[in-house]
Amino acid sequence: MRLPVDEKRWFDHFRRIEPGQLAGVFQDLDEQRAKTSHVGAWLFTVERYADEAHFGSEISVQSTLLERAGPLAWMTWGANLPHALLTAIAVDELSDLDVVEGLVGVCASVWAPPDARSIVTVLVVRRAIELLEQIDRTLASAASMQWAHPADDAARAEYAGWLEAWRKVELPSRLERLARLLAASGDGRTAVVVLMSHLRSIPPTNGRALPDVRAMLRERLLIELLERDVRVEALLTDGLTSAALLSGALWVLRAPSPDRVRVAVDAYRRWCCEDDVLWRAPLDTHEDDLIEALAKLFARLPSPTDEVEAWLAAVTRPSQGWGFDLQRWFKSVPKVTHAVIVGAAAAHFCAIEGRGPEADRLIGLVWDHLQAWTRCSPLRFNDPRVLLATAYVWAFVAKIVGPDSGPRAALALAGMDDLWDVVTAAENYASNLTAVGVPLEVQRALRHSFEARLPIVAEHPHVTAEERERLRNTVHRLAADAYAEVARASAP
C-alpha cells in the first residue's frame, strides 16, 4: 500500500520535476514495483530518480542528527520514510564509511516491514561500495598525479604508500567485514538482493585500472553464504539480471550438483530469451566473467554439444525465405552471438577437463553454426558482436583442434563475405598457433579472400585509407609465407 505524500513537504528535494508531479513520480515507481518480482532491478530506477534530487534541509538535518543517535535509529528512520525514493536520497547523504558499515551491522534489528528493511540495507550497501571506490580513486589519482613542484615527489610517494596499504590490507579487510555483516543479517534475503543488484563490475575509467570492488565483494559474500549454508537459489529463480545470473552461476560452481547446474543453465536460457537482453562488444569485465561462468556450467553437463545445439536452434531465426522477419532476426543477433561465444568457451573447458572428443564435437558445432549463420544473414556492415563471436570461435578452434584444422579453416575463410570477419578470424586463429605457425593453405585462403574483397571495401564511404592500410598490413603479416610464394612464382 502506498503511503500518502505531502508534496509541499518533499518538493524542495527535487529539480527538473514540475510542481504537482511528485505524487505522480511516486505512483509511477510503485506501479513499476508491482510489475516485477525483482526489487534490485526496481531500485536502479529509484536511484535514477534520486540522482535528480538535491538534498534539502529537512532530510539533511534529520540524517545528521540520527547518525549521532546511533545506527539503529538511523536505519529505522530510513526504512520508514514514506517512499524508497526518499530513502535513496537519505542514503546519499552518508559520507562516513565507518558509519555506513555500522548501519549494515544493525539491519536485521530494524523495526520495519521486511521489504522496507531489505531496501534500506541494499541502498546502504550500495553507498558503502561507492565510498570504497571513491577512496580508491582518490588515492590512485594522488599517487599518479604530476605535481607542480619537484619537491612534491615526496608527497606523491607518500600517497603511493597509502594506496598500497589500502589495496593490500584495508580494502580487503573492509570488504570481508561487509560481507560477513550481510551474510549474518537474517535468512540471507538481503544478501541475495545485494548480489542481484549492485555487484555488477564497472569498466575502468580514463584508462586507469582500479580494483574491482564489486567483484571482490561478490566473491567474499558468496564464500560467507556457503560457509553459513545459506541457500541462494532465488538468484536463479526470481527476476533475472546479468548480475544475479553471474552471482548464481558462481555460487553453483562453488558447490556444484547436477540439479543446481541444470537450474543455472535453464536460468541463462530464460535471461537470454528476454526481448531486452543486451551485451556489448568488446566485453567488459562483468560480461567476460559471466561468459566464463556459463561456459563452465555447460561443460559440466552430461552432453554439452547436444545442449548447445538445442539452444542455438531455439534462439536462431530464419535469415531468409519463408518465416523471415527482419525485426525478429535483428533481435536474435545478441542471443545467437552470445550463445555461440558461450558454446565455444564451453568446448575449451571440456578440453581442459579431459573430455577431448566432446570438445571437438562442440567446437565443430558452433563453428559450423557461425559459418552458416553469417553466410546467409543480412548483417549490418562490421557488426561488433559478430566479430567478437568470430574471434572466440576461431581462437578456440586453434586451441582445441590445432593445425589439423587447416583444410577446414581454409574453406571457411574462402566462404566468408565480410572482410572484417575474414581478418578477425585469421588474427585469432594465428595468435593461438604461435608454436607451429599458420598452415600454408590457410595463408593462401586468407590472401585470396583479402585481395578478392578489398575492392569492395575500398568503395565503402566509411572506410578510410588508413583503415584499409591497416587491414593490408595485418593480412601481409598473417599470410607472409603465401605472399612470399607468390613473389617467388612471379620472379624472373
Q: Compute how many other C-beta atoms are within 10 angstroms of the C-beta atom of residue 16.
A: 7
Identify the weakest region by mean pLDDT among 112-126, 140-154, 288-302: 140-154
Top mean pLDDT of 91-95, 143-147, 222-226, 433-437 is at 222-226
* Backbone torsions φ then ψ of 417, nearest 5 degrees: -95, -35
Task: Tell which phi-psi region holds residue 55, choosing left (phi > 0), alpha (psi between -120 and 50) or beta.
Answer: beta
Size (the chain), residues: 492
Following CA atoms 464, 469, 470, 474 in sequence, which dihedral angle do they give, to the nearest 10 degrees? 150
The C-alpha cell 530494524 sits at 110
Q: Is the pLDDT of residue 236 over 80?
A: yes
Is the model more confident about 459 or about 187?
459
Q: Residues 15-34: what's their mean pLDDT? A: 64
Q: Compute how many other C-beta atoms are within 10 angstroms of the C-beta atom of residue 145.
A: 12
Q: Is the pLDDT of residue 3 over 60?
A: no
**Cell numbers standing for residue 341:** 561465444
CB distance 238 to 244 below 8 Å? yes
CB distance 199 to 249 below 8 Å? no
Average per-residue pLDDT for the chain: 81
Whole-prediction pTM: 0.82
Q: What is the pLDDT of residue 4?
A: 37
Q: What is the pLDDT of residue 150?
A: 65
Top mean pLDDT of 83-87, 272-276, 470-474 is at 470-474
Q: What is the pLDDT of residue 15?
A: 42
Query: What stretches of 275-378 adopt beta strand conformation (E)?
Result: none
Tens digits of residue pLDDT in 457-484? 777 777 788 888 888 899 999 999 988 8
Q: What is the pLDDT of residue 131?
A: 92
Dist CA 88 CA 47 (whole Å): 6
Q: Compute how many other C-beta atoms are within 10 angstroms of the C-beta atom of residue 272.
A: 21
